[in-house]
Amino acid sequence: MKTILVGYDGSQEAQKALETASELARCFGARLYILTVVPELFLPDIDIGTEVGLKLEEEMEQAARSQLEAVAAKVREKGLDFETLLEKGRPARVILEKAKEKGVDTIILGSRGTGLTKALLGSVSYKVAHHADCSVVLVR
Q: CA 72, CA 17: separation in Å to the nearest integer?
A: 14
Q: Place 26 in a pLDDT band, splitting at 50, 70 and 90.
A: very high
pTM, two decimals, is 0.88
The average pLDDT across 2-23 equals: 96
What b-and-e string marks burial along 89-127, b requiring 16 or more CB atoms within 10 Å of the CB?
eebbbbbbebbeebebebbbbbbbeeeeeeeeeebbbbb
Q: What is the mean pLDDT of residues 9-22?
A: 94
Q: Quick one: pLDDT at residue 24?
A: 98
pLDDT at 121: 43
pLDDT band at residue 76 under the 50/70/90 scheme: very high
| Rounded average pLDDT over 29-51 | 78
pLDDT digits (tens, 9 = 90+) for 44-65: 555 555 677 778 888 999 999 9
What's the chain's length in residues? 140
DSSP assignment letter at 22: H
Q: What is the pLDDT of residue 123?
A: 86
Third-level CATH fold of 3-139: Rossmann fold (3.40.50)
- Segment 91-139, tens digit of pLDDT: 999 999 999 999 999 999 998 755 544 554 458 988 999 999 999 999 9
